Amino acid sequence: MFVEKDTNLEKYAQTTKKVKNLLITIQQIKDKKSSDKLLEEMFVELHKIMKKYANYSEFGCFVNACDSSSYEIEYDVNLLKKITFLYLDKRDLNEVVPSEWIQAVIDKGSSRRKGAAGEKKLMSILKEKNYTSAKTMVEFNKHKKTFAKCAGKKGDFSNAGLKKHFSEVIGKTTQNKKLDLIIKKGDDVYFLEAKHMKISGGEQNKQILELIELLRNKPKKENTHYVGFLDGIYFNKLFGSEQAANKEESNKINQQSFDIRNSLKKIKQNYFMNTAGFKKLF
């Protein structure tokens, strides 16, 4: 859960007010057909401000409605201009900046933070169980109980590094998508992908399919394992302790549960678990 106010809420509010003031100024200059040079100066300022703490403003949200992102307008000033004029045409401008609705937008997007938060939770559990964090393969091999975060295009714990050190091919059919953690307990090594789900749906079903595909990988060695980790109440639905919302969801859950069990029966080295299972295994 993310129930505390965002620590940068005041910065978001201040930046939102600056964005509003600039948009109002641009509107006035545009309406009066004033100097093009002055208008250009305003866009330079707007472009500068949009780089940080502006993504939760009304204008920042409107950028998404235009099938664009803050990253794109940062590198394309012409796109910023087009979206600005569209915003001025399609939306109403006012100077009010309520912090509570900025927080509401942040809360609405909290699901995007769950992946990283879940990963941090697992690392915290491992540390409580006296596992050490490794940054290099030398450190990983040094300890009997250790873990590392999978990251980067190069390095020991990139997909290329895992292939080199463990002969495991990761991301071949998923555009080089990375796993989350690699964990060692004694002589056993576990390659873990973590997801968080509370409901079913299009994007959520894709996440389950990614875990099922992971479980279908047969490790190259007897002491290596693939682990699908699912956090959130959807795990309870998959394994019967919580009811599906309707028949359609029930049918989907039954199929997903069958696919997971079937994969684990075929490749007994692999695991599928929630937090309780993770704590028990490690």
In-domain check, residue 236: yes
In order of 38, 125, 131, 132, the CA distances from 128 in angstroms are 59, 5, 7, 10
Shared domain check, 189 and 136:
yes
pLDDT tens for the chain, residues 1 to 282: 778 898 999 999 999 999 999 999 999 888 776 678 889 999 999 999 998 899 889 999 999 899 988 888 888 999 999 999 999 999 998 888 889 989 998 888 776 666 567 788 999 999 999 999 999 999 999 999 999 998 877 888 888 888 888 888 876 655 557 889 999 999 999 999 998 876 655 556 778 888 999 999 999 899 999 999 998 888 888 887 666 667 777 888 889 999 999 999 999 999 999 999 999 999
Shared domain check, 96 and 123:
no
Q: Rounded to whole angstroms, how far apart are CA atoms 80 and 47?
A: 7
Shared domain check, 190 and 169:
yes
In-domain check, residue 4: no
Q: What pLDDT, on a 0 to 100 scale, did the predictor assign at position 153? A: 76
Shared domain check, 55 and 81:
yes
Q: Closest Cα partner for 20 from 92, 82, 78?
A: 92
In-domain check, residue 2: no
Shared domain check, 50 and 130:
no
Last residue of a domain, one of 89, 108, 127: 108
Last residue of a domain, one of 74, 108, 142: 108
Last residue of a domain, one of 51, 78, 108: 108
Number of domains into which the chain is organized: 2
In-domain check, residue 16: yes
pTM of this prediction exceeds 0.75: no
Cβ neighbors of 217 (< 8 A, separation 6 or more) are 168, 226, 267, 270
In-domain check, residue 3: no
Supply the range of the domain harboring residue 144. 111-281
